[in-house]
Amino acid sequence: MLETSGRPDARTSEDPARGPDRTPAAAAQAGEPTPGVEAAIERGAARLEATAAERARMRAMRFDTIAVHGLYSMAEALANQGGINEPAILSPAQHFASSDDMEAALAYLAPSWTYSRIANPTITYLEEALALLEGYGLDEEVSATTTSSGMAAVMMSTSPFLTLDAAVGGGRPRPNLVASAQCYGGTFMLFSRYAAERGVEIRWVRDAVDPAAWAAVVDEDTRVVFGEMPSNPGLGMFDIAALATIAHRVGAPLVVDSTVATPALMRPLEHGADIVVHSLSKAIGGSGLAIAGAVVARHGITSRVGPDELRENFALHVKLGPLRDMGPGLTPFSGLMVMNDLRTMRSRVDHWSRNAMAVAAWLEADPRVLEVRYPGLASFPGHDLAARYMTLVDGDADGAPAPRFGHLMSFRVAGGARATRAAFDRLRLVWRATDLGRVKTIATIPAISTHQQQGEEGRELADIPADLVRLSVGGEHPDDVIADLDQALG
């Protein structure tokens, strides 16, 4: 059985000696372990070594192989009655063989999972696979922590940096968060809540494709720089590498929400980002059977605030601290649903991207459509950035480079908001829903749905006109999707 290292309950951030990496020597200093506990620690160390060896073995494999197998090896299967799928451990808590095992685990001296709010073996398989996929091709340690939703991941990836420390009120200006104005409606609302409830200044960047627009507002009071790429629903782009440099210059981490791209098309860590957040509810969990999220981070992130372990392993820090205390962990059942879809992520994203390209090209050529925003179109303002950052991992069937631009687009219908609603209401195959990244093609009007609550001004800031339709293209034959759009446009 795979287990997470680290038992959080006994741990405080001020006491790194109690962290998961505490050595037996440090433990001895803190009080002699009994021979029984000592033996439990040794058994735990052997398990950790086996996990590290399996991680190293899988890291040498290709993207699809990692997605299909993760860290669930034949040896793991034999320990689970031979099952070739990861076991579904729905139990809230772990049974220990003895008080020695329990003591070693709860003192963080041996790997354990203990309680499913914080860690769970099924979830750990998902997290290990996500970390390997997001860090694919990167010669660095990467860790992942899953959350109950994408919004929980956005919160967990930003809130630990927004502490109101002694500097505030001591003459220093307010801490600020710099973010792309084109972002998911829920993210816009969360950051607005940070402003209202914590006094954090939110600096929205409208012209995200221009690095100078970011550089102009990032300063020494910036705690975190956050960008969504491609953004939902505007497909906004930015230069990840340039933005990482700008953030790091002031000691702030760069967080990228790359839900729409997925690691099959883009891996921001490789370009200098510190943390990646995903809504696993979308394309990664493309069958649409669960709400879930993930925080994936390189080890050794940049941050001026927070304890050392926050910088050393941010994902683990979140799991053992904020997530433990606030409780937005992922349920094992949902984790299992997502893991099942994760295995086919690359081929699905490839397929949907090719379908989306066909639909976007058709829409662009139609006079009933004012404008199409799709990163794959040469007319799209962020096309060059998309071409630089988005490409199908491991290339096409022959291994040749394969530019792919994802499943999401938006378009404006000629004739204004009323004509847009009329066309939307005539759809017969494309679902009307506030969902995306699905095997089923889905459309929404963001101004009256996902981005309704941020108001007229917020929508103006994020460039979401009333006649904009967001379209997430799935696995149907594109000709049938096009035929539905054709009859709907009237």
Here's the x/- map for ligand PLP, 5-44, by CB under 6 A: it reads as: ----------------------------------------
Tell me the CB-side half-sphere exposure of residue 313, using CA atoms within 13 A.
19
Which residues, other chains included, contact 176 with Cβ-Cβ below 8 Å and sequence gap of 6+?
200, 201, 202, 203, 217, 219, 221, 222, 223
Distance CA(86)–CA(336), nearest Å, equals 8
444 near ligand PLP, judged by CB under 6 A:
no
Whether the ω angle into residue 253 lies within 30 degrees of 0, i.e. cis, is: no
∠ at Cα 487 (482, 490), nearest 5°? 130
Radius of gyration for the alpha carbons in the chain, expressed in angstroms and rounded: 23
158 near ligand PLP, judged by CB under 6 A:
no
- CB-nearer residue toward ligand PLP: 40 or 385: 385
Quote the DSSP letter at residue 33.
P
> Which is nearest to 274 in space by CA: 368, 134, 414?
134
Distance CA(328)–CA(231), nearest Å, equals 24
Q: Which of 51, 112, 180, 232 binds ligand PLP (CB under 6 A)?
A: 232
454 near ligand PLP, judged by CB under 6 A:
no
> Which is nearest to 346 in space by CA: 408, 228, 262?
262
Here's the x/- map for ligand PLP, 378-417, by CB under 6 A: it reads as: ----------------------------------------
Q: Which stretch binds ligand PLP (CB under 6 A): 35-43, 47-55, 67-75, 148-156?
A: 148-156
Give the total of residues touching ligand PLP (CB under 6 A): 17
- CB-nearer residue toward ligand PLP: 18 or 470: 470
Minimum CB distance to ligand PLP, residue 152 (Å): 7
- Interior/surface letters 366-403, b for 16+ CB within 10 angstroms, e for the rest: eebbebbbbbbbeebebbebbbebbbbbeeeeeeeebe
184 near ligand PLP, judged by CB under 6 A:
yes
259 near ligand PLP, judged by CB under 6 A:
yes
What residues pair up with 74 in beta bridges, in sequence order? none
Distance CA(291)–CA(412), nearest Å, equals 29
Which residues, other chains included, contact 74 with Cβ-Cβ below 8 Å and sequence gap of 6+?
none
Minimum CB distance to ligand PLP, residue 232 (Å): 4
Asked if 412 and 467 touch (Cβ cutoff 8 Å), the reply is yes
Q: Which stretch binds ligand PLP (CB under 6 A): 36-44, 137-145, 179-187, 199-207?
A: 179-187
Minimum CB distance to ligand PLP, residue 293 (Å): 5
Q: Which stretch binds ligand PLP (CB under 6 A): 145-153, 305-313, 424-432, 475-483?
A: 145-153
Q: Which of 218, 235, 291, 427 binds ligand PLP (CB under 6 A)?
A: 291
4 near ligand PLP, judged by CB under 6 A:
no
228 near ligand PLP, judged by CB under 6 A:
yes
281 near ligand PLP, judged by CB under 6 A:
yes
- CB-nearer residue toward ligand PLP: 112 or 187: 187
Q: Binding residues for ligand PLP, per CB under 6 A?
A: 149-151, 154, 184, 186-187, 228, 232, 257, 259-260, 279, 281-282, 291, 293
